[in-house]
Amino acid sequence: MIIVMERNALPEHLQVVKERLQDKGFKVHLSQGVERTIIGAIGDKTPALMELFETMPGVEKVVPIMQPFKMASREFQMEPSIIKVGNTEIGSGQVQIIAGPCAVESRENFLEIAKLVKEAGATMLRGGAFKPRTSPYSFQGLEKEGLEILAEARALTGLPVVTEIMDTRLIEMVAGFADILQVGARNMQNFFLLRELGKVNKPVLLKRGASATIEEWIMAAEYIISSGNNQVIMCERGIRTFENYTRNTLDLSAVPLIKQLTHLPVMVDPSHGTGKWKLVEPMAMAAVAAGCDAIMVEVHQNPSEALSDGPQSLTPERFEKMVSKIRTIASSRG
């Protein structure tokens, strides 16, 4: 790290900071300018140490040099990670398409939509059994029954299923049914949940929090990986900004950034990322052009009857059209 001393820092302040750095195992280099002294502190330390120095007398600011993530980084692992899910792979070049309704609403409906999206080109199924809802008065999911329906749909279609996990107490149950465990945006910094998922031998789909920086999102992945599970898939689903025509602002620059900074595969969810079905197809095409490994979209037989997220759900017909367009883009992105 770099420590910038205040313009009027006393020599004894400088001395104390230097000694403290050496105590903590840093190699110290001084750059004495006309107006300020700058200290280069060389050593591989945790970010928490930086804060300490920031509070010492005479210190103006502390500037990090190292990225705070390690095991998720490209420097740690040069070749991109490929995550195996059933017979498919995420991160190996082909664009995977995960589709299904926001929530599993009934056995009959889910089995039907599962067949429809498979025929239209989906390579995995999605559906929530436990639903995070802003209001306690909204539909909260079918819970265990929903998981059983998901498993039945997998048996029927042969497609792997993705579903959300919201509480540490449910990991065992959900992992018993699902192929990929999804951490929702609201739980991206539920550190107990992340650590427990690090002990599971299943891929984890980690959604970006609505106000998480790229760095915080990668640090959340670092929690899972450093706890023992390196099968992490990053999913961009829109960040919260001042714009309100869209539900969120889909940050597609996250796609090339995650690929440059980490070795993890990246998925994009244009349904939550925009909140409007009319924007799903163009944004899915854009996401593929930007280089993503997978697209996750909400599809419902009858969006006007959906128990959640109807306005952002595609009909099966529109989904089929979208699949065809993104296949064309995928083959031309080089």
Question: Between residue 16 and residue 75, which ones bind a copy of itself under the rule CB under 8 A?
Answer: 27, 29-36, 38, 40, 42-44, 46-48, 51-56, 63, 65-66, 68, 75
Please report, as residue ranges, which positions from 130 to 149 form the binding site for a copy of itself (by CB under 8 A).
Answer: 132-140
Contacts to a copy of itself from residues 276-305, by CB under 8 A? 277-279, 282-283, 285-291, 303-305
Q: Residue 285 is encoded by which pair of tokens?
A: 């095409």
Which residue type is seen at 296? M
Nearer to a copy of itself, 32 or 176 (CB): 32
> Which span (88-96, 108-116, 148-156, 203-211) binds a copy of itself, by CB under 8 A?
203-211
Please work out, in degrees rounded to the nearest 5, the angle formed at the alpha carbon of residue 70 by the alpha carbons of 65 and 75. Answer: 80
Candidates 106-114, 146-154, 199-207, 326-334; binding stretch for a copy of itself (CB under 8 A): 326-334
Q: Which stretch binds a copy of itself (CB under 8 A): 110-118, 121-129, 153-161, 255-263?
A: 255-263
State yes or no: residue 78 binds a copy of itself (CB under 8 A).
Answer: no
Q: Which of the stretches 81-89, 112-120, 209-217, 229-237 binds a copy of itself when contact is defined by CB under 8 A?
A: 209-217
Do the Cβ atoms of 309 and 280 come closer than 8 Å? no
Binding-site size, a copy of itself (CB under 8 A): 112
DSSP states of 139-167 as a string? ----THHHHHHHHHHHHHH---EEEE---
* Residue in this structure with the two tokens 């991109």, named with its chain if needed: 80
Shortest CB 131 distance to a copy of itself, Å: 9
Nearer to a copy of itself, 118 or 269 (CB): 269
The binder of a copy of itself chosen from 12, 145, 215, 317 (CB under 8 A): 215
Among 80, 86, 121, 311, binds a copy of itself (CB under 8 A): 311
Nearer to a copy of itself by Cβ, of 110 and 223: the residue is 223
Q: How many CB atoms lie within 10 A of CB 322?
A: 24
* Cβ-based nearer residue to a copy of itself, 178 or 330: 330
Closer residue to a copy of itself (CB): 51 or 87: 51
Counting DSSP H helices and E strands in the chain, the numbers are 11, 14
DSSP secondary structure letter of residue 305: G
Looking at residue 142, its amino acid is L
Q: Which of 84, 172, 192, 199 binds a copy of itself (CB under 8 A)?
A: 192
Q: Which of residues 86-125 bind a copy of itself (CB under 8 A)?
A: none
Least spacing, CB of residue 204 vs a copy of itself, in Å: 14
Pair type for strands 124-126 and 96-100: parallel
- Beta pairing class for 266-268 and 294-298: parallel
Task: Tell me which H or E stretch contains 114.
Answer: helix 107-120
Q: On the CB side of 307, how many CA atoms lie within 13 Å of its CA?
A: 21
Q: Please answer whether residues 74 and 262 qualify as being in contact, where contact means their C-beta atoms are separated by less than 8 angstroms.
A: yes
Burial class from Cβ neighbours inside 10 Å (0-12, 13-18, 19+) for residue 139 reads: middle
Of 147, 239, 264, 296, which lies in the binding site for a copy of itself, with binding defined by CB under 8 A? 239
CB of 159 to a copy of itself, least distance (A): 26
Which residue type occupies 97?
Answer: I
* CB contact at 8 A, 280 and 253: no
